[in-house]
């Protein structure tokens, strides 16, 4: 009896083992995706990839060419059970390519797509590759003011960017300060600078509730006279820069944050809900060739507000043949959100409409909760990763939807964010001393996809 029991138990074990072996043979392994490069230094970096279900280990190769014919010792073939690996002892200022595949016993997946990484020339010194040289399928923009069109600002602008926006000098309160008197002095200087240096100008912004001169807020005429005044302002301005300003934010921030209603403004009060449509029609009449954008904030994460913009502006305009070339997402975000997935999903809702997408005002806060007194390396790496994610999302949209990715300021100490949130922050790609930050490298890495 005992022998029979041992025989049956052995048969059961053999059967189970055979069943497990058969299941393993049936399993297929997906290829990992290298989604992050971090801890980049002069001779080292860390690669992270997606975990693959059923994988027991991962094999990596490192090479100096994308065909992996020139493998780098000792990383010709590295095996690890982790979903990340730290490479070190590398040449400085060298471009490397890394790929990874998943393994289960004798089975393995295909290799991932290769990820390219350029090590720093020396620790603490980020690559100074001009952004516009790498972003070959869209414009790289910079927000500026006339007082910064000289010195080191001028050198960096000309090296890095092929489009500029006026941070505040092409808004109504500046260009139309008094009834019957226009003042295009500063706008003219900015446009002339761009023309001289082979840059394009994105006009920002014709109508914005927060940049309305007092005389307009307190306009004494009738509603009809008010509408005529706005028409004259838009047509006068757009006509002046016809052929010089390639695009305009015609209306900025016209949807509120409470349920996606029309924002209360003097334009809404005096002209009704149709004022947005009229502004776009007047801009098109003044310049049939310039690109016309609606621009707003929080659209990359606030679905209620985005849905309102799509309904009230995009769908409404397209149904009624109102001119609209694109939508601008003001990318005022933080190191800790929104997620790349959310940004991509919201972006697709616009590009699916067949219009242009502008990531119009990029900055990434690293101190939104005021828990830092100075930048930390950890937060700077997080900022770099978030910039990389934003650029990856933009770079992946259909080419027919690409327009520009605009950074909202050059140096940290020139950002609008610290004064707005009431405490220090360091949200841009250069520090106060014009030193390139990790965030700038994140922009470059985002273009490697």
Task: Provide the angle, in degrees to the nearest 10, between the axes of the packed helices 223-240 and 275-286.
Answer: 40
Ramachandran region, residue 231 (left: φ > 0; alpha: ψ -120 to 50; beta: rest): alpha
Any catalytic annotation for residue 361? yes
Report the sign of the C-alpha dihedral through residues 167, 172, 178, 182, in that order: positive
Q: In whole angstroms, what is the distance from residue 193 CA to residue 219 CA?
A: 34
CA distance 171 to 203: 9
Q: Which among 227, 169, 196, 47 has a CA at the least distance from the CA of 119?
A: 47
β pairing state of 115-118 and 291-297: unpaired
253 a catalytic residue: yes
Report how far apart, in Å, the C-alpha atoms of 164 and of each of 74, 89, 279, 309 are: 46, 41, 23, 25
Q: How far from 270 is each of 205, 206, 218, 448, CA to CA, in Å? A: 20, 17, 11, 49
- Name the residue among 22, 164, 156, 178 with its Cα closest to residue 429: 156
Query: b/e string for 208-231 if b means 16 or more Cβ within 10 A?
Result: bbebbbebbeebeeeeeebbebbb
Give the tokens for residue 390.
């934003």
Across-strand partners of 412?
none
Within 13 A of 392's CA, how many CA atoms are on the CB side?
23
Catalytic pick from 160, 200, 253, 380? 253
Question: Virtual CA dihedral for 340, 345, 350, 355, nearest 10 degrees?
Answer: 70
Could you say which of 126, 200, 281, 361 is catalytic? 361
Provide the CB-side half-sphere exposure for 434 (13 A, CA).
Answer: 9
**DSSP 8-state code for residue 209:** G
Query: Which residues are CB-contacts of 417 (< 8 A; sequence separation ≥ 6)?
Result: 332, 363, 365, 425, 427
Active site residues: 253, 361
């Amino acid at each position: 009896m005992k022998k029979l029991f041992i025989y049956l138990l052995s048969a059961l074990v053999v059967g189970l083992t055979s069943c497990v072996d058969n299941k393993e043979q049936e399993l297929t392994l997906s290829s990992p995706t290298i989604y992050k490069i971090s801890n980049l230094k002069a001779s080292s970096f860390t690669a992270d990839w997606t975990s693959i279900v059923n994988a027991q280990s991962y094999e990596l190769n490192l090479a100096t060419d994308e065909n992996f014919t020139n493998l780098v010792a000792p990383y010709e073939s590295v095996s690890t059970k982790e979903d990340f690996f730290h490479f070190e002892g590398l040449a400085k200022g060298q471009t490397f390519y890394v790929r990874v595949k998943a393994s289960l016993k004798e089975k393995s997946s295909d290799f991932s797509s290769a990820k390219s990484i350029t090590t720093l020339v020396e620790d603490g010194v980020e690559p100074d590759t001009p952004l516009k040289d790498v972003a070959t399928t869209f414009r790289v923009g910079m927000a500026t003011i006339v007082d910064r069109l000289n010195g080191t600002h001028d050198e960096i602008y000309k090296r890095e960017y092929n489009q500029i926006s006026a941070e505040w000098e092409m808004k109504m309160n500046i260009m139309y300060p008094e009834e019957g008197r226009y003042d295009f002095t500063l706008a003219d200087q900015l446009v002339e600078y761009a023309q001289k240096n082979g840059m394009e100008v994105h006009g920002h912004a014709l109508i914005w509730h927060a940049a309305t001169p007092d005389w307009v807020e307190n306009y004494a005429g009738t509603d009809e006279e008010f509408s005529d005044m706005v028409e004259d302002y838009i047509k006068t301005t757009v006509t002046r820069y016809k052929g010089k300003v390639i695009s305009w934010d015609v209306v900025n921030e016209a949807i509120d944050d409470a349920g996606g209603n029309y924002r209360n403004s003097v334009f809404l009060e005096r002209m009704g809900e149709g004022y947005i449509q009229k502004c776009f029609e007047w801009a098109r009449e003044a310049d049939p060739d310039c690109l016309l954008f609606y621009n707003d904030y929080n659209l990359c994460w606030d679905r209620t507000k985005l849905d309102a913009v799509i309904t009230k502006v995009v769908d409404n305009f397209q149904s009624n043949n109102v001119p609209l070339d694109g939508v601008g997402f003001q990318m005022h975000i933080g190191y800790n959100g929104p997620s790349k997935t959310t940004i991509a999903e919201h972006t697709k809702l616009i590009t699916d409409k067949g219009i242009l997408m502008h990531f119009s005002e990029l900055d990434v806060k690293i101190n939104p909760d005021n828990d830092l007194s100075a930048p930390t390396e950890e937060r700077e790496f997080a900022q770099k990763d978030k910039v990389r994610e934003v650029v990856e999302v933009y770079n992946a949209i259909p080419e027919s939807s690409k327009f520009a990715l605009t950074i909202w300021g050059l140096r940290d100490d020139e950002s609008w964010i610290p004064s707005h949130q009431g405490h220090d922050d360091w949200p841009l790609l250069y520090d106060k001393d014009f030193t390139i930050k990790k965030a700038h490298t994140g922009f470059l890495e985002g273009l490697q996809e």
